[in-house]
């Protein structure tokens, strides 16, 4: 794929967190769908997704990274009482509904990449886990109690963990992994969601943290570049747009960040905040980006950014591009299992998204160049 665009380049990856952050899929072939029932796709969304995927194919990445929020994930609910995923009157029925929703939404999400020959490596986000909060009211408590189920369904259909031989023991065994994407680059994907007795907090569990420490200790003697992706930002402050603003517990003082710093991690990629910020702390370049293609906010629909990174010799050069809507229709909403957070029924994404920033790093961790929204704060 890579040689179609730049035969001199060593390696290219594309990063697009929070894609799609909505349940977009054709439900007509699911067992309970009947004529007259709602659907989670429209002609406008089909066109918009085709524009996005065509743009990414044209970039010819060797790999695509997605740091969480592939779906809306408010499953186990049926606010409009459609019965599409079965009854939701008790916890057992709600868990069955989660399983029935995960299958079509994740499968169609993966198909968008596989049908175009784009290898995709995904992290778990809060929306894969039913969305925060996870305590304080019965629906939130149910999501916390069902955390393992949410993670299993995500891993089963979207992550397909058996593709990865390097995985931690413990709770994150199926949701965290590492892979050498290039002979000089290691990708580590972490699960930043840990269940406690009363909540789910953005923090690595102890077994995953110990695995990360061992893994990174061995990796720097093998490669010059280590990229870690996780859903939430760690360093602060970051720009935010239409988000609950989850952030990693303890920030740059956390054992997670200090482990990455001690072992020379070069780049940490995260989503969650739906805006673009670059911070350099303790030798790590944190890049927060992504967006909500389905969001209807004061700035419109289509705030989906993506990063294209080229590894060439001893340098990594990056470009940030951002989609914007051409037209939107906000009066009608696309069906989701919940009434709030439903995206607009139809949106048209303008092709040729603008470049909004550039950045270049050396393999000895020097900032060589930056511009626009990729200029570190």
Average pLDDT over residues 225-244: 95
SS (H, E, C) 25-65: ECCCCCCCCCCCCCCECCHHHHHHHHHHHHHHHHHCCCEEE
Instruction: Look up residue 10 and give its DSSP letter.
Output: S
Per-residue confidence (pLDDT) for residue 347, from 0 to 100? 81
Average pLDDT, the chain: 93
Average pLDDT over residues 107-134: 98
* pLDDT at 5 > cutoff 80: no
Distance CA 104, CA 74 (A): 14
The token pair that represents 43 in the structure block: 């002609």
Per-residue confidence (pLDDT) for residue 344, from 0 to 100? 84
Q: Cβ atoms within 10 A of the Cβ of 47, count? A: 14
**Sequence-ordered strand ranges (E) for 324-366:** 325-333, 344-349, 354-362
The token pair that represents 191 in the structure block: 């699960």
Residues 6+ apart with CB under 8 A from 290: 16, 17, 18, 19, 67, 69, 271, 272, 273, 274, 304, 305, 306
Per-residue confidence (pLDDT) for residue 1, from 0 to 100? 41
Average pLDDT over residues 265-289: 97
Nearest by Cα to 347 from 298, 312, 295: 295
Average pLDDT over residues 215-225: 95
Per-residue confidence (pLDDT) for residue 296, from 0 to 100? 55
190 near 230, Cβ under 8 Å? yes
pLDDT band, very low/low/confident/very high, at 331 (cuts 50, 70, 90): confident
Per-residue confidence (pLDDT) for residue 250, from 0 to 100? 98
Average pLDDT over residues 84-109: 98
Lowest mean pLDDT segment, chosen from 28-42, 55-69, 207-221, 327-341? 327-341
Per-residue confidence (pLDDT) for residue 178, from 0 to 100? 98
Tens of pLDDT, residue by residue over 174-183, are 999 999 999 9
Lowest mean pLDDT segment, chosen from 138-152, 301-315, 362-376? 301-315
Distance CA 187, CA 114 (A): 20
Average pLDDT over residues 261-273: 97
pLDDT, greater one: 121 or 348: 121
Tens of pLDDT, residue by residue over 58-85, are 999 999 999 999 999 999 999 999 999 9
* pLDDT at 3 > cutoff 90: no
């Amino acid at each position: 794929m890579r040689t179609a665009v730049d035969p001199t380049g060593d390696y290219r990856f594309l990063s697009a967190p929070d894609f799609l952050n909505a349940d977009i899929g054709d439900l007509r072939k699911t067992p309970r769908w009947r004529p007259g029932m709602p659907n989670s796709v429209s002609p406008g969304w089909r066109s918009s997704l085709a524009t996005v995927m065509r743009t990414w194919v044209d970039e010819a990445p060797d790999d695509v990274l997605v740091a969480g929020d592939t779906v809306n994930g408010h499953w186990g609910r049926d606010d409009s009482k459609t019965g599409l995923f079965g009854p939701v009157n008790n916890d057992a029925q709600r868990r069955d509904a989660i399983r029935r929703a995960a299958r079509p939404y994740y499968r169609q999400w993966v198909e968008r990449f596989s049908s175009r020959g784009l290898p995709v490596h995904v992290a778990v986000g809060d929306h894969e886990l039913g969305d925060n909060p996870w305590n304080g009211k019965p629906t939130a408590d149910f999501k916390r109690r069902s955390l393992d189920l949410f993670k299993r369904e995500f891993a089963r259909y979207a992550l397909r963990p058996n593709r990865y031989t390097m995985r931690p023991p413990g709770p994150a065994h199926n949701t965290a992994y590492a892979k050498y994407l290039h002979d000089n680059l290691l990708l580590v994907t972490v699960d930043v969601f840990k269940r406690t007795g009363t909540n789910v907090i953005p923090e690595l569990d102890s077994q995953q943290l110990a695995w990360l420490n061992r893994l990174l200790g061995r990796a720097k003697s093998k490669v010059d570049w280590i990229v870690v992706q996780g859903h939430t930002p760690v360093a602060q402050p970051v720009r935010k747009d239409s988000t609950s603003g989850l952030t990693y517990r303890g920030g740059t003082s956390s054992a997670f960040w200090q482990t990455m710093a001690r072992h020379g991690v070069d780049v940490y990629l995260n989503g969650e905040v739906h805006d673009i910020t670059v911070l350099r702390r303790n030798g790590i370049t944190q890049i927060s980006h992504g967006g909500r293609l389905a969001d209807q906010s004061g700035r419109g629909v289509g705030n989906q950014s993506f990063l294209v990174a080229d590894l060439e010799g001893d340098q990594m050069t990056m470009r940030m591009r951002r989609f914007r809507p051409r037209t939107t229709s906000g009066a009608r909403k696309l069906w989701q299992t919940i009434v709030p957070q439903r995206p607009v029924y139809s949106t048209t994404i303008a092709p040729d998204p603008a470049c909004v920033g550039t950045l270049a790093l050396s393999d000895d961790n020097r900032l060589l160049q930056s511009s626009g929204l990729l200029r570190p704060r």
